Amino acid sequence: MSVDLPSGETLLNEPTLNKGTAFTAEERQRYGLEGLLPPAIETLDRQLERVLHHLDAKPNDLERYIYLTGLADRNETLFFRTIMSDPNRFIPIVYDPTVADACLAFGHIFRRARGLYLTRDRKAHFAQILRHWPMQDVRFICVSTGGRILGLGDIGANGMGIPIGKLQLYTACAAVPPHQLLPVLLDIGTTNEALRADPLYLGLRETPPSDDEVDEVADAFVEAANEVYPGVCIHFEDWKGTDAMRLLERYRDKILCYNDDIQGTSAIVVAGLTTALQIKREKFADQRVLFYGAGSAGLGIANMIVSAMQLEGLSEEAARSRIAMMDINGLLVTARDDLNTWQRPFAREVEPASDLLEVVRWFKPTALIGVSTHGGAFTEAVVREMAKLNRQPIIFPISNPTDRAECSAAQAYHWTGGSALFAAGVQFEDVELKGKSLHPGQANNFYIFPAIGLAVYATKPKRITTEMFIHAARAVADQVDQGARDRGMLFPLQTDILETEVTTAVRVADHIFDRGQAGVERPVDVRAWLEKLLYKPEYLPL
């Protein structure tokens, strides 16, 4: 019997090694598994067939999420084989929108700890705690405080479902090896009183500290992560908006890191806009973009659009003049004294206004982007006004989950007579209108961040730049063929997500090599080299 591997029940309880009924007769003898498994020796495909039967019998997607979580805890290979067998079906279950329900119920559906929990009171011991993780070669850490989860707000430790789900998509969408991914919940407390009062809540029952202390905790984490895993890429996810903006600015030029809510969201919206403008045969520099919502996501998108306009020749000032933003208190104007550091550059020298329809009539936008989590904010009057102003209005209600979207696909298409170029943060059903089937786009970050992850995994750069995200956005847009555009699609089909992500990662890797930012030598054939690095959900001989 091998001295390097566990045996018997211990082996069956190790999800990265467990094959269940697929262990061969020789492996069963060698590792003391005889009698611990039924005699049938099955293939991975036969096991997948059983899993699909189990999933079909579940009453709803939350129950399917719970089942798949249990599968990941038992047999990692079979879990990823399942997800990658039909990404169009399973991504909405392991991630958005089902993950929102899972996070809300996290303490109630909890079965087994996954990832690492770091609490602010233990910040002096973060390096020691990180060393408790069994994998030594961690290349990516996705870390959240749970301070702003999807459209759910601050849900504290319940937000652990997000780093887990995000990293599963690194593998399911872009085949980044799962053993090099670490989900972390940095528990600084929560403002959510209902959660603090819930007896099944699993996090600190404290309110979050001051910004200065948050920065101290974040500094301790970043230092410890880079000490334990030198050169690790830190993926910041779902932090409170002002924390997200401040900490990205604090670290982006010092360590290998990015914030998906800011940069990933920005890139996928730019990808959708790129396709829409290719359909309209227009340039970024000619657009007027109105944002309903001016938090970290909206500001990140706005800044990336400014960068895209600058690449087309506009000055930064001219590009900013083509963007207007609204938040809960109305239009961002210079007369307001409640704007933060990142909002002020987009404040306009006009009279205050709080009515969206009024602002649309004044600003005459070509594109309307919703990042407000205010469900139904894009009313019929607003959308019809956009159609009056534009032959093909760009309508992007990005907020999620579904009930937080500013309007639905059916509403946008019917109110514009089918002329809208539409994308939402969640996937809406196809819409039949005037004898034509319209397929609404989903501006979901999973088209971007796994590809960025794969490119970074392969090329080992020292920093992640805005240009990498813009190249990723363009690569995604370029993969939408004319037939898809004729159906109103602004993004590639999810059924081919691995092919899409690899193609996007190759484009980003080429950019990294072109700029001399890679930490490895450039291969002759970047795609062939990158494909050899991809994880495959297959059982290996033990």
Residues involved in catalysis: 95, 166
* Crossing angle of the two packed helices 161-174 and 449-459, in degrees rounded to 10: 70
- Burial readout 238-247 (b: 16 or more C-beta within 10 A, e: otherwise): bbbbbbbbbb
Is the separation of the CB atoms in 62 and 102 below 8 Å?
Answer: yes
Q: What is the DSSP string of 86-119?
A: -HHHHHHHHSTTHHHHHHHTHHHH--S--SEEEE
SS3 259: strand
The whole-angstrom separation of Cα 535 and Cα 80 is 10
Q: Which DSSP helix (H) or strand (E) runs through 369? A: strand 367-370
Instruction: Judge residue 276's burial from the number of C-beta atoms within 10 Å of its C-beta, 0-12 exposed, 13-18 middle, 19 or more buried.
Output: buried
Amino acid at 451: A
| Residue whose structure tokens are 């290979």 | 77
Radius of gyration of the chain (CA): 24
The whole-angstrom separation of Cα 258 and Cα 156 is 21
- Cis preceding-peptide flag for 199 (omega within 30 of 0): no
The whole-angstrom separation of Cα 536 and Cα 143 is 25
